[in-house]
Structure 1
Amino acid sequence: MLLAFSTWFLTNAVAPGLEAATGVSQAVIVQLTNGVQGGFILGTVGLATTGLADLLPAQLIFGASAVAAGAVNACLLFPGVTVWSMAAIRVLTGISLAGVYPIGMKMLFSAVPSARGLALGVAVGALALGSGLPHLFAASFAAAWQPVVATSSALSACAGIAVALVGGRDEVAAPAAVPTSAALSPASAPLPGEAAVAAAAPAATAADADSVRLDVAASPMAASLASPTAGQAGQRRVHGDPGAVELGAPAAHGSPGEEGAAPTRGRSSERCGGVLALWQHVPSRLAFLGYIGHMVELYAAWTSFAPLLADRLASGLDGAARTEALATASLVTFGAFAAGAVASPVAGIVADRWLGRSLTTVVLMALSGSTALWVGFVTSPAAVIAGVLLYGATIVPDSPQFSTAIGELAPPERRGAMLSVSTGLGFLVTMITIATTSLLQAAWGWGPAIALLAAGPAVGIVSMLLLYVRPEAQAMAGGRR
């Protein structure tokens, strides 16, 4: 997953060389990154609606998608490539990556059934670190952009081949029982996201008093891809023990032969209902608004790091001095991505053991939002480097906390649909903010363009504080809200 995601921000990482070689502007390069966002949305919708993620082995989908991402990405090296062909290449890259992240999440969940929260943190960290890899390559290859494209393409293809050959488990081989939310206590110290699994178990019904069902939805993408319906995904019954649930396999609940079972609803009705349910259920709505506030700044800031640093470090320089400054800018940009990757599991531990999800996300959004207010205005190289590193470290660790919070708060029968809807809308928001930040930068400069991103975490902070004082918030992080 980490290697395949080195293709995501590729054009952003090689922008100076690409501008010199093809004559495209920085604004166009930003929109090329937006093309990956759009392609990713199209790809995930396609996987969810066709059900391919359930029909084919996960390792084959992952492998083919990673190889496709590398192959499509390598097309940027073709002579005579135009702006329109580059746009098509980036959209196709995004579509290919849709078979990497959600399917990779599904494989991780199957491989580590006892630590799904940790798996979510690892996946988010891999996404962040992999997205920063092309900046590391750009620093290594100086002004040459073609080797960066070739390296990221080769790594993505190699990752796909390795996963396809080595394989992985589509289902949990030996699911482990986990306690329900009532059994969790501060001393149990769950891993990041495990509280969502525990809190998700609904009460047993009169018709089925000896079993508890759990909808596996710790990841937005995994929730939409793991099974035919959100209300019946990833369920397995544990008979004779109402205090435990078992994860990872589809249940027969709702099948025609089961006495008293409700009719199974289709995917489309579940997703349509998820949109309305997400907004009508107040705790889920507040967590969703917090997530949207987070997404307002995340990808727009990630897209801005490299050009901001290049402008501050290399402006007015020529020759070898400019090449060295651009390499430094690329290296610092990679450092910002890496800082976020390292901070993500740390934030998960803090949320699950001490602060809870609401306060952890509030602290992180306060740090990232306050950094956005000044980092674009400073001109000192040392100050802008420090600001970008701080911004990178604080802008991404709350992402898995929002996903887990929505999963913990959502009604069990709507959990998968609500997580899928929130993720899709979140990526749509990133397309808007990436485009508007680029336009504002061209008109007003870096300071106002990045400072306006602070509106996102401001909305998120208010939403999560309102959620914190609600009694339903006790369903999060084992009662830590």
Structure 2
Amino acid sequence: MSQTATPPSAPARILPTIVFSQFAGTSLWFAGNAVLPELQASLQLQEGALPLLTSAVQFGFILGTLCFAFFSLADRMSPRLLFLICALLGAIANALVLFSATSVGGVLLLRAVTGFLLAGIYPVGMKIAASWYSGRLGKAIGYLVGALVLGTAFPHLLRGLGTNLPWQTMLLAVSALAALGGVLMYLLVPDGPYHSKGTRFDMGNMLKVFREKEFRAAAFGYFGHMWELYTLWAFVPFILAYGLPQLSPDQLSIYSFSVIAAGAIGCIGGGYLSQRWGSSWVAFVQLLLSGVCCILSVWVLQEPALLLPFLLFWGIVVVGDSPQLSALTAKTAPPQLVGTALTVVTSIGFAITIGSIQVTGYLLTVIPPHLSFVLLAVGPLVGLLSLRPLLRKQKRQPAVTQTAA
């Protein structure tokens, strides 16, 4: 069977279910951020608690993705079953924070465990999409990453609206949502027709995927993109407070939500554009535009009238390339190791974000803020150079508009 189109028999419920389940599962990621003031009061934490909680999840996610990739779990068992197990266990770990709110170590451990289990949700969700959508993979993953973006921005919205819900209720609601997403994925999304089964455990699987030249091009494009993405997201509130000091805390949260959530437009819109231009070109153009934003930040961060529209545009293009880079990773990986490939690339990418965030945080202590973010342009530059082989291939074999349904 040709793998250039979605199977005619694919039920209409498949993509909406995957998207909702991905949003529900990844809402666990920033659940701790949404209740940070209450945790700070309970644990008597200082203002630096946010990086601490976020880093715990990030480190857990990195360890989880390395473990899942090492054992090739997403390729050796049903990915929807793996998604269900991780969603349920992640929901439990998140809810258990209620009983550890008097222990810093307990909360950090549970957040790290949640991050570990997210390794069976985010990249596995992309693996499930890849098993159903081949020709339209860029569009499908565009929706998936768009859901992740909205989940990332969601805590800022909760704070901005000044919700009066008890923090315990908010945590339990997020856990219930994640569990529901896992159940729906398992019940409504069977293994897709492009799901390769029976991969054997091989300690070299993680390295084997990098033998393919085109896969390396897609992977290093993704690595460059990740150098910029999470650092921008992490410092959006800081940038807004620096450039627009008159904002109230509620306004700052709403604006932060808007800038990060705008990325869903880039993800979904880029997915549709990939139908005509191909994933390589869409990723290249958005990487180029976000790199230009890094450079222009030196000037725009000192112009209050331009700052918000500039950040909204930057928010769109900084993540709009992510689905297409993931789609390229899936398409160029060995078919029997797609899950492993997506997982190990995601793991390395998130490890890179920690280095970028630390470097930027240090720069903010030694140089003016408006000069600190230009270094993020290194990431898009590396990504653009890495994507050249895929662009050349697409020029030699122009992509046919991928409109098959």
TM-score past 0.5 threshold: yes
Aligned-partner SS, 1:94: helix
For the residue of structure 2 that corresponds to 1:84, the secondary structure is helix
Give me the whole-angstrom Cα distance separating, in 2, the residues matched to 1:334 and 1:35: 22
Counting only pairs closer than 5 Å after superposition, residues 3-82 of structure 1 correspond to structure 2 as 3-12=24-33, 24-50=45-71, 53=74, 58-59=79-80, 61-78=82-99, 81-82=102-103
Give the direction of change, closer, same or farther, for the CA distance of 1:49–1:458 in structure 2 (3 Å limit).
Answer: closer
Q: What's 1:369 paired with?
A: 291
- 2:231 matched to 1:300? yes
* 1:309 corresponds to: 240
Alpha-carbon distance between aligned partners in 2 of 1:445 and 1:2, rounded to the nearest angstrom = 37
Deviations 1:349-370 (A, max 9, x none): 223303x334322321222122
Q: How many residues align?
A: 379
Write the distance in 1 (CA, Å) between the matches of 2:326 and 2:398. 11
Distance 1:40 1:332 in 2: 27
Q: With the length of structure 2 as denominator, give the TM-score of the two structures.
A: 0.78
Q: In 2, distance between residues paired with 1:386 and 1:116?
A: 30
Contact residue 129 and residue 338 of structure 1 kept, 8 A: yes
Which deviates more from structure 2 when the two are superposed, residues 90-99 or residues 411-420?
Answer: 411-420
Tell me by how many angstroms 1:452 deviates.
1.1
Q: 1:407 to 1:421 in 2, by over 3 A?
A: same
Residue 390 of structure 1 corresponds to: 313
CA RMSD, Structure 1 to Structure 2 (Å) = 3.6
1:447 aligns with 2:367: no
Equivalent residue of 1:167, what SS? helix
Aligned ranges for residues 188-199 of structure 1 at < 5 Å? none
Q: Which runs of 5+ in 2 are unaligned?
A: 1-21
Q: Secondary structure at the match of 1:2?
A: helix
Q: CA deviation at 1:297?
A: 0.5
Q: Deviations over 1:6-32 (max 9, x none)?
A: 232345556667667755455452242
Q: Which amino acid in the other structure matches residue 422 of structure 1?
A: V
Describe the SS at the equivalent of 2:204: helix
The residue that corresponds to 1:127 in the other structure is 148
The structure 2 residue matched to 1:118, chosen from 121, 139, 142, is 139
Q: State how far apart, in whole Å, the 1-side matches of 2:369 and 2:167 are.
A: 26
Q: Using a 3 Å threshold, how does the CA distance of structure 1 residues 407 and 78 change in structure 2: closer, same or farther?
A: closer
Aligned pair in 2 of structure 1 residues 59, 171: CA closer, same or farther (>3 Å)? closer
2: distance between equivalents of 1:84 and 1:449? 32
Choose the corresponding residue for 2:179, options 154, 160, 165: 160
Instruction: List runs of 5+ in structure 1 lacking aligned partners.
Output: 176-214, 217-225, 230-264
Change (3 A) 1:103 1:391: same
Structure 2 residue identity aligned to 1:451: V
Query: Which amino acid in 2 is paired with 1:164?
Result: V
Contact 1:335–1:389 at 8 Å: present in 2 too?
yes
Establish whether residue 171 from structure 1 lines up as the match of residue 94 from structure 2: no
Which residue of 196, 202, 218 maps to 1:267?
Answer: 202
Rate the CA distance shift 1:116–1:351 in 2: closer, same or farther, 3 A: closer
Question: 1:91: which partner in 2?
Answer: 112
Report the 3-state secondary structure (helix = DSSP H, G, I; strand = E; otherwise coil) of the residue aligned with 1:128: helix
Q: 1:25 to 1:422 in 2, by over 3 A?
A: same
160-169 or 132-141: bigger deviation = 160-169
**Deviation readout 1:371-397 (Å, 9 max, x if unpaired):** 223447625554332232111111111
User: 1:38 deviation in Å?
Assistant: 1.8
2:11 is aligned to none
| Whole-angstrom CA distance in 1 between matches of 2:100 and 2:203 | 44
Q: Distance in 1 between matches of 2:378 and 2:387?
A: 14
Distance 1:57 1:33 in 2: 30
Deviation sequence 1:182-233 (CA, Å, 0-9, x none): xxxxxxxxxxxxxxxxxxxxxxxxxxxxxxxxx76xxxxxxxxx6443xxxx
Alignment of 1:390-409 (within 5 A): 390-409=313-332
* Match in the other structure for 1:345: 268
Deviations 1:68-111 (A, max 9, x none): 33443345455753443332232112112222223433444556
Q: 2:386 aligns with which of 459, 463, 469?
A: 463
Please list the CA deviations of residues 322-360 of structure 1 after superposition, one character each: whole Å capped at 9, or x if unmatched: 7xx221121122222322112212212223303x33432
Rate the CA distance shift 1:410–1:131 in 2: closer, same or farther, 3 A: same
Range with greater deviation from structure 2 (91-100 or 356-365): 356-365
Q: Which amino acid aligns with 2:109?
A: A
Cα 1:350–1:66 change in 2 (3 A) is same
Q: 2:345 aligns with which of 407, 422, 440?
A: 422
Shift of 1:429: 1.0
1:161-310 equivalences in 2 (<5 Å): 161=180, 163-164=182-183, 167-172=187-192, 175=193, 227-229=197-199, 266-275=201-210, 277-278=211-212, 281=213, 283-310=214-241
Aligned to 2:183, what secondary structure does the other structure show?
helix
Cα drift, residue 295 of structure 1 = 0.9
Deviation of the 1:456 alpha carbon: 0.6
Aligned-partner residue type, residue 122 of structure 2: Y
Q: Secondary structure at the match of 1:267?
A: coil
- Alpha carbons of structure 1 residues 471 and 342: separation in structure 2 relative to 1, 3 Å: closer
Matched-pair contact (CA < 8 Å) for 2:209–2:334: no
Contact 1:30–1:438 under 8 Å retained in 2 = no
Measure, in 2, the Cα distance between the counterparts of 1:81 and 1:427.
Answer: 29
Conserved in 1, the CA contact under 8 Å of 2:64 and 2:119? yes
Q: Which has the higher helix share?
A: 2
Aligned AA for 1:328? Q
Counterparts of 2:67 and 2:149, CA distance in 1? 24
Counterparts of 1:121 and 1:292, CA distance in 2: 18
Change in Cα spacing, 1:28 to 1:417, as seen in structure 2 (3 Å) is same
Superposition deviation, residue 404 in structure 1:
2.4
* More relative contact order, 1 or 2 (CA 8 Å, 6+ apart): 2
In structure 2, what residue type is equivalent to 1:390? Answer: F
CA contact (8 A) 2:141 2:271 kept: no
| Residue in structure 2 matched with residue 329 of structure 1 by the alignment | 252
Q: Which amino acid aligns with 1:81?
A: T
Distance 1:363 1:141, change over 3 A: same
* CA spacing shift, 1:228–1:79, aligned 2, 3 Å: closer
Contact 2:228 2:377 in 1 (8 A): yes
